[in-house]
């Protein structure tokens, strides 16, 4: 079976800055991996390269055994429909209901006209399926609630439900718990890991919270200045390796890339 993600010598530059610098790693199908590191370490850029939204300046990215650079527009669209992404700010539409936000999860599979119809008049089958998913993530009663009226934790769960409705082979989440309190953050990470195990999709999550990463993920990839500084199971790492990861030099203080 092909790996879910294969990166070989990937470098992504923004001007003179290498946000991801010569990174090589493999994520196997069904794996659960946490990318950890400070702001500016390259976590967001790495996820964007993995979900094919950013073409690397050097190196190669393969997803589900397909070399991304060799795909035409239609093939790339189909591949992207198999990768769910939860962006750092969740990417929800505040004025739409939870139902409407979730139904957009299959937009990449259904095309523009079908997506507009689903948004305005979702089918009974979709409504039932989405209600079941929202119920699974703990907010079934919020089906017709506007996202702008939901709490931060509830919005997170709408974003997770949207990703599940997409029926992805892999889910990438970029700092999905950065805006909620520690208790809700722990619940959300636990839910993502449980769903990955239950449904069987590959899960990659970027996190600032070291303790959450150590508690829930069997593999941690530490990033600093765009490079991988460790890639191991939590029990194989020493405390000094985590503290060194977050001891930034002055020139490393920058906006997360």
Residue-wise pLDDT for 190-217, tens only, equals 999 999 999 999 999 999 888 899 999 9
Instruction: Give residue 249's pLDDT.
Output: 46
Tell me the mean pLDDT in the region 222-241. 90
Q: Has residue 21 got a pLDDT over 60? A: yes
**CATH 3.90.180.10 holds for 1-82+169-250:** no
Instruction: Give residue 255's pLDDT.
Output: 46
Q: At what angle do helices 152-165 and 124-136 cross, to 10 degrees?
A: 130
Q: What is the pTM of this model?
A: 0.88
Q: Report how far Cα 77 is from the mean position of its chain's Cα atoms.
A: 17
Predicted confidence (pLDDT) per residue in 45-77, tens digit = 999 999 999 999 999 999 999 999 999 998 999
Tell me the mean pLDDT in the region 115-137. 88
Domain with CATH 3.40.50.300 in the chain: 1-82+169-250
């Amino acid at each position: 079976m092909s790996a879910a993600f294969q990166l070989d010598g990937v470098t992504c530059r923004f001007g003179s800055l290498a946000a991801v610098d010569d990174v090589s790693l493999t994520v196997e199908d069904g794996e659960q991996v946490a990318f950890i590191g400070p702001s500016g370490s390259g976590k967001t850029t790495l996820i964007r390269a993995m979900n094919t939204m950013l073409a690397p300046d050097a190196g190669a990215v393969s997803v589900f055994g397909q070399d991304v650079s060799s795909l035409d527009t239609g093939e790339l669209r189909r591949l992207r429909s198999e990768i769910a992404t939860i962006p750092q700010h969740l990417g929800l539409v505040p004025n739409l209901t939870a139902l409407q936000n979730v139904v957009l999860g299959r937009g990449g599979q259904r095309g523009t006209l079908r997506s507009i119809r689903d948004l305005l008049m979702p089918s009974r089958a979709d409504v039932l399926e989405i209600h079941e998913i929202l119920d699974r993530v703990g907010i079934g009663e919020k089906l017709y609630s506007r996202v702008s009226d939901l709490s931060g934790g509830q919005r997170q769960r709408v974003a997770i439900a949207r990703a599940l409705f997409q029926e992805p082979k892999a889910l990438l989440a970029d700092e999905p718990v950065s805006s909620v309190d520690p208790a809700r953050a722990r619940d959300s990470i636990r839910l993502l890991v449980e769903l990955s195990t239950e449904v069987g999709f590959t899960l990659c999550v970027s996190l600032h919270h070291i303790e959450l990463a150590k508690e829930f993920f069997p593999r941690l990839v530490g990033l600093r200045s765009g490079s991988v500084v460790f890639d191991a199971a939590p029990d194989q790492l020493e405390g000094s390796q985590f503290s060194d990861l977050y001891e930034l030099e002055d020139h490393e203080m920058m906006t997360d890339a």
